[in-house]
Amino acid sequence: MKNKIEIIAEIAQGYEGSEKLTNLLTKGAIASNADAIKFQLVYADELATPDYEYYDLFKDLEMDKDVWVNVCNQIHNADKKVYFDVFGLFSLDMAKEIGADGVKLSTTEFYNNALFDRAIAKFDTLYLSVGGIPAEDIDQKLSALSVEQVNKICLMYGFQSEPTPLDQNNLNKLSVFKNRYPDFRIGFMDHSDGALDDAFHLPLVAMGTGISAIEKHITLDRELEIEDYISGVTPSEFIKFVGLVRRFEPVLGLDSLELTKQEEVYRNKATKSVVALTDLKAGDVITLETVALKRCSKPITEHSILEIEHALGKTLKVDIKTDSPIAKGDI
């Protein structure tokens, strides 16, 4: 069985720069049964120029360091991890100072090499968004990494379209990433409409591609229409979502073609082996008229003959009764 899928409750910018709202969302996310909780750590002057259309929004998201330290302490006291999206060296260093367990670099930061280098040096967990990045650019960045660095990274894929229509999710890309970069963990960022059943079903489909992490938005109440609410589900809905993931996770089973115990039992009981159609004597030569493939009471072992061609023309060393299996050592 592979490792448990990590479920990340994504608050993003939903805290809106309000300490009260941040604490409410944190408590809701802690109660949601998620494994980790993630915020965007925003400092306007690091992220945009003053004339950028969302500069004032980014400015309003800024909060004192003490607020974030308290948030991290709450989450750690609940035995959960806390991650932050960072957008520059200042927010990266701040994430480290306030106690983050890891950071995420969005697609917009993929080419920020200084930020990437410092992030992978400072943290043991780095989520790297790769949606919208040409494959050759991903290849170039990942091929230069050490084994230690590879083990720190989870490649995250998901398309944000506020919300993302079902037919724009391209979940097959998750399998492509997994096959192209087999040494890396792969995660899915879900941005489906939180008001639809799709919000619960889509990640379950993504699980079938072998992902290691699911990032899903959480909000207090969609009617409040706080930032990033469109893809969000409420804490009680998030509990339901986690329950679905954990219920269906065992369905994924092994990552190899090794037979399970149940498959072994079925194989031993149901597989046909070569048996005698009549009483045979030592010295008899086996022909199509004297043997057949049948199920029998004796379980299949490494000594069983499963293909009739392997017995034809062979001479028996021992007597064989009618309907008794012929073993490899009998010929």
Rounded to an integer, what is the distance from CA 200 to the centroid of its chain? 15
Confidence of residue 252 (pLDDT cuts 50, 70, 90): confident
pLDDT at 1 over 60: no
Condensed to tens digits (0 to 9), the pLDDT of residues 116-157 reads 999 999 999 999 999 999 999 999 999 999 999 999 999 999
**Whole-angstrom Cα distance, residue 221 to residue 223?**
5
**Which whole number is the average pLDDT over 218-227?**
88
81-85/36-40 β-pairing: parallel
Domain ranges of the chain: 6-252, 259-331
Burial class (CB in 10 A: 0-12, 13-18, 19+), 23: middle
> Is the CATH number 3.40.190.10 carried by domain 6-252?
no
Let me know if domain 259-331 sits in CATH 3.40.720.10. no
- Locate 178 and state its tokens: 């997994």
Report pLDDT for 2: 65
Give the pLDDT band (50/70/90) at residue 160: confident
| Cα dihedral 246/251/254/255 (nearest 10) | -80
Helix H or strand E segment including 198: helix 198-207
Give the tens place of pLDDT for each residue, 60-94. 999 999 999 999 999 999 999 999 999 999 999 99
| pTM of the complete model | 0.87
Estimate to the nearest angstrom the gap between the alpha carbon of 191 and the chain centroid: 16
Q: Which two tokens stand for residue 277?
A: 């159609």
